[in-house]
Structure 1
Amino acid sequence: MSFLTNLQALYLNYCLNIIDMSVIGELHKLEILSMRENALKEMSREIGQLTNLRMLDVSAQCIRTIRSKVISKLHKLEELYMQCGFWDWVSKIDGEGQKTNIGFDEIAGLSYLSTLKVCISDANCIPKSVEVEPNWVYFDISTCHGHISERIIENFRSDDSGHNCRSLSLSRTDTTIGAFPDWFVNTAVKNTERLRYEECKGLSNILVEYDHGRLHGLKVLSVIGRCESLKELMNAITCVPDKPVFENMEELHLKELNDLEELCVGELPPGSLCSLKLLEVRRCCNLGNVLLPSKLLQKLPSLEKLLCSDTKVEYLFGCEGFEPDQINLREMELQDLHVVRGICNGPAPR
C-alpha cells in the first residue's frame, strides 16, 4: 500500500483481519478514509500525518485508544464519523506514562468540520468553553453512560443520513440539556431537529428541556425506557411558558414509560404542538383514563396519525368542548389495549 502515493480515497470497511495500519501514514494525498466495522482496537497515530484528509469514518469499530493530538492534526477535516466503542475521553493510556486519549476539545477545534457523528459517555466529556464555536452543519451526537446502547448501534448502522441530520441522543444517563455548556447549546442543541431520550433518570419535565435548549426547530422527539422522574411529559404549571412550545415538532414517540401518568398538566400557550402529525404511544402502563384530554387534543390541529399499543387507557379522546373541524386525524393503529372502553369518554361529536 505504501506505493499508492497518489491515492485520494481509501475504503477499508468490514476488513476484520487488519492488525497494522501504520503504513497509512505514507498516503499523504489521501482525502477520504473509511474504516467502518474493523477490528482495530486503537487508532493508528500515523493517521495524524494525513493532513489533506477531508473525511474520516471509523464508525462501529472496537476502538479503545485514540491518542490525543492525532485527529487535531487533520486541519482540513470536514466530515468525522466516530460512533464507535470508544468512551475513554481524556483518560490515561495504559503503559504509556502521561499520554492520554483524545479530548472532545480537539474535535471542537477543527475549524473546517461541518459534519460530525460521535458517541460520548456524558456531558462531562464536553469542555466548558472553546476558543471559537464550531460550525457544525450536520451532526449526530449520542451520549450513553457506561457502554453504547444496542439501539444506538442499530440506529447508526442502518442510518446513512449523516450528511443531512441534526440529531442528539441522551441514553442511560442523568444528563439533561441543562448540563451542557452554553457553546454546545448554541452549536448543537438549539439546531437539533431529532432529539432522543432513553432511560434518562434526570428527565422530569420536557418543557424545561425545551427552555434550556431553545429547541424551536425540533421536529422529532422520542422518549424511551425508564425515566423515573418523568410523571408528566409536559408540566405547564411548574414551568410556565409564555410563548408557544414545540411549534415545529412533527413527530412524538413515547415508548416503555411505565412511570408516565399524564402527557400534559396545565394549559399550553396557543400555537403549541400545532405541527404535530404523528403521535406514537407504546407500552406506557400508567397513563390516566384518557390518552388525549380535550384541552390537549385541541392543541393538535395537524395530527394525522395515532399509534397506540399495550397502554392502559380507557379512552383515547376527551370530548369536552371538542369540535370536529379541529382535528385532522386520518389513520389510527390500535393494538393490545386491553382496558379500552371506547374511543371517546362521552358522546362523540357530530
Structure 2
Amino acid sequence: MHDVVRAMTITIASEGEHNFMVSHHVNSEEFPRRTSYEHFSHMPIVANKFDELSRPIVCPKLKHLMLKLCFKKPFKLQDNFFNDMGELNVLSLSGYVDSILPFPASIKRLSSLRTLCLSNLRLDDISIIGELVTLEILSIRDSQLEELPMEIGKLTNLIMLELRNENKELERISAGVLSSLVQLEKLYMVGVEYCSYSTLRELESLPRLTSLTLSRCSGDVIYSNLSLSSKLAWYALTVGGAFIVTSSMDDYEKIISLEVTETAQLDDWICHLLKESEFVDSTGDGSNNVLTELQLNEFQNIKCLRLSYCKLVTHLLNISRRIHEVIKFLNLYDLKLESLECLTHFCNTTVEGIEFPRLRKMLFHYLPEFQNFWPTANNSITHSSPLFDEKVCCPRLEELYINGANNISALCSHQLPAAYFSKLETLYVANCGKLRNLMPPSVTRGLLNLQKLEIRDCLSMEEVITKEKQQGEGIMTLFPLLEKLTFTRFLSWGVSF
C-alpha cells in the first residue's frame, strides 16, 4: 500500500497544475526565500523561527497552506498576509499555545476557503471567521478560546464542526450558533465545559446530522425530552461525571457513557441510543434502568459493556420465567463489572446455558456477593457451583480478571475440556477469600497461550492446581509462553502447584 500511495503522490506532483513547496525547520529571518511563489499550489511549512514578513507574498494559485510554528514566542501574521491567496481552499495553522495572536484582517479575502484547521493557538476572538461563508469544515483543537461567538452561526455551509480542547475547556457557545448550522453533518465537541439541555436542544434543528461527539453533558439531559436526528450513524456521548478513554472511540461507532445518579425513568432519546449502542458504560444507582433498556433488545448490539457503582443491581438479566434455552451475547467482546455490591448472579434464574462467542476480556472487580452466572440447587452461603462450567461458553477469552469476589469458591468445573481456555493469555485472581483452588490439571494443560498468571491475597487457597496425577509437569511445560508469574499472601506458604 505504501508503494501505491508513493507512486500516486509522485504522479500528482509531477502534473503542471500541482506544484509543491515543502520547507521544514525554517531558521531564516523571513518566509522561505523564493523569487516567486506564483506556481505553487501546495505549501506545507514547519518553522522553528518565523519573523514577520517585510512584504506580502503573492500566491495566486495556492490551494493548500499548512503553517506549523514550532516555537513558543507569541507571533502575529501581518494583516495583509492572505491578500494574494484568493484561490486557497485549505488552511491549517498550528503551533504552541500563544504561538499566533489574533487573525490578520486579510483572512476575510479567502473567498474560496473550504477547510480551516486551527490547533495549539491563542484565539481570543474568532468572530472574523464568520466572514468565511464558504467554509465547509472548521476544526479548532487545543486552543485558548473561551467562547464560540454568535458570528460562527453565519457559516451556514458548514458540514463539519470540531471543537476539541484537552487543556483549556471552551466555556461558552453563544445561543443560536448550533441551530443556525443547518447543513451540519458532523459535530464533535470535546472539552466544552457545559453541554446543557438548552445547548442540546439546538441540535434538533440539524436534520442532516450523522456523526455526533459530546462530552461533559450535564446530568439532567438523561431525563429531558430531546429529539435528535434519526440519521445518527456514529456517536460518542458522555454525561455527568462519566469518562471515555479517547482511544476507545476508534474501536466503536456508537458509544454512550453515563453517570446515572438518579433512579428516575430515562428519557426516550437516551433509551433509543442505548438500544443502538456498541459501547455502553454506566455508573451510579440508575444503572438498573440502563440494564432494563438493554435487556429489552437482549443486548444484541453491545460489543463492550461496563457497569459500576450501583447498589441496586442484583442480576444483569432478570428473566420473568424459567426458560429452557441458551442465552447468547453474540457481539460482546469486552465485559467489565465493578463495585456492584449486591450482584449475585448474571441471570436471576436457571438457563440451559450462556454463550459469549466473541468475548475477549472479562473483568470482575469488587463483587462481594457474586457467586456465578446463575443460581443452582447447590448455591448457598457455604457452597457455590464453579463460575465456569460446561454450560458457560467463552471460546475466545484472552484476558480474565477477578478481584474482590469473596463468594466464588471454585473457578472451574472438573468437567471442563482441556481446550476450554485455549486462547487465554492473562489470568489475574485477587482478594477472593473463599477460593480454594484455581483449576483442575485437565484445564491447566490447555493454557498453552498463557503469558501472565497472577494470584494475590487469596487467603483460603490451598492449591493452585487440584491434586490429580500431574505426570510431573513443570511450570514451563504447562505454560510454555509464560512471561510473568506472581503469587502473594496465601494462608499457607506450602500451597501446592
Query: TM-score if structure 1 supplies the norm length?
Result: 0.70
2:331 to 217, 221, 227: 217
Correspondence 1:29-68 to 2 at 5 A: 29-59=134-164, 60=166, 62-68=169-175
Q: Distance in 1 between matches of 2:252 and 2:112?
A: 30
Determine whether 1:3 maps to 2:109. yes
Q: Distance in 2 between matches of 1:295 and 1:173?
A: 42
The offset of 1:279, in angstroms, is: 1.7
1:205 to 300, 310, 315: 315
Alpha-carbon distance change, 312 to 53 in structure 1, aligned in 2, over 3 angstroms = same
Unaligned stretches of 5+ in structure 2? 1-106, 279-299, 320-327, 377-388, 472-497
Q: Is the partner of 1:254 in helix, strand or coil?
A: strand
Which amino acid in structure 2 is aligned with residue 261 of structure 1?
Answer: F
1:116 matched residue in structure 2: 213
Instruction: Note if contact 1:30-1:53 (Cα within 8 Å) is conserved in structure 2.
Output: yes
Alpha-carbon distance change, 53 to 235 in structure 1, aligned in 2, over 3 angstroms = same
Alpha-carbon distance change, 43 to 120 in structure 1, aligned in 2, over 3 angstroms = same
Which amino acid in structure 1 is aligned with residue 210 of structure 2?
Answer: L
Alpha-carbon distance change, 44 to 208 in structure 1, aligned in 2, over 3 angstroms = farther
The offset of 1:87, in angstroms, is: 3.8
Correspondence 1:210-249 to 2 at 5 A: 216-224=330-338, 226-229=339-342, 231-232=343-344, 234-236=345-347, 238=348, 244-249=354-359
**Over aligned residues, Cα RMSD in angstroms?**
4.2
Determine whether 1:307 maps to 2:427. yes
Q: Distance in 2 between matches of 1:66 and 1:316?
A: 58
1:265 matched residue in structure 2: 374
Which amino acid in structure 2 is aligned with residue 24 of structure 1?
Answer: I
The offset of 1:24, in angstroms, is: 1.9
Which amino acid in structure 1 is aligned with residue 125 of structure 2?
Answer: D
1:279 matched residue in structure 2: 400
Alpha-carbon distance change, 247 to 68 in structure 1, aligned in 2, over 3 angstroms = farther
Correspondence 1:80-229 to 2 at 5 A: 80-90=187-197, 101-103=198-200, 106=203, 109-114=206-211, 116-122=213-219, 124-125=221-222, 128=225, 130=227, 133-136=230-233, 138-143=234-239, 145=240, 147=241, 149=243, 152=244, 155-156=245-246, 159=247, 161-162=249-250, 165-171=253-259, 173=261, 179=266, 181=268, 182-188=271-277, 191-207=301-317, 216-224=330-338, 226-229=339-342
Determine whether 1:342 maps to 2:463. yes
Q: Distance in 2 between matches of 1:179 and 1:269?
A: 37
Identity rate of aligned residues, in percent?
19
Q: Distance in 2 between matches of 1:108 and 1:318?
A: 58
Instruction: Note if contact 1:135-1:187 (Cα within 8 Å) is conserved in structure 2.
Output: no
Q: Distance in 2 between matches of 1:119 and 1:35?
A: 18
Q: Is the partner of 2:145 in helix, strand or coil?
A: coil
Task: Give CA deviations for 1:124-182 in whole Å, capped at 9, x if unaligned.
Answer: 4365564862332x333223x3x455xx3xx12xx285485443333474579x84634
Q: Distance in 1 between matches of 2:169 and 2:225?
A: 28
Determine whether 1:27 maps to 2:116. no
Which amino acid in structure 1 is aligned with residue 139 of structure 2?
Answer: S
Alpha-carbon distance change, 76 to 324 in structure 1, aligned in 2, over 3 angstroms = same
Q: Is the partner of 2:142 in helix, strand or coil?
A: coil
Determine whether 1:253 maps to 2:359. no
Which amino acid in structure 1 is aligned with residue 364 of structure 2?
Answer: L
Determine whether 1:18 maps to 2:128. no
1:74 to 181, 188, 193: 181
Unaligned stretches of 5+ in structure 1? 91-100
Instruction: Note if contact 2:192-2:215 (Cα within 8 Å) is conserved in structure 1.
Output: no
Q: Distance in 1 between matches of 2:369 and 2:430?
A: 14
Which amino acid in structure 2 is aligned with residue 347 of structure 1?
Answer: E
The offset of 1:304, in angstroms, is: 1.5
Instruction: Note if contact 2:242-2:258 (Cα within 8 Å) is conserved in structure 1.
Output: no
How many residues align structurally?
317
Q: Distance in 1 between matches of 2:237 and 2:329?
A: 16
Instruction: Note if contact 1:262-1:288 (Cα within 8 Å) is conserved in structure 2.
Output: yes
Task: Give CA deviations for 1:265-311 in whole Å, capped at 9, x if unaligned.
Answer: 33799575344332223x42635333x23289679556412331543
- Larger RCO of the pair (alpha carbons < 8 Å, separation 6+): 1
The offset of 1:242, in angstroms, is: 7.0
Query: TM-score if structure 2 supplies the norm length?
Result: 0.52
Instruction: Note if contact 1:130-1:183 (Cα within 8 Å) is conserved in structure 2.
Output: no
Determine whether 1:294 maps to 2:294. no
Structure having the higher Rg:
2
Alpha-carbon distance change, 294 to 243 in structure 1, aligned in 2, over 3 angstroms = closer
Q: Distance in 2 between matches of 1:328 and 1:345?
A: 18
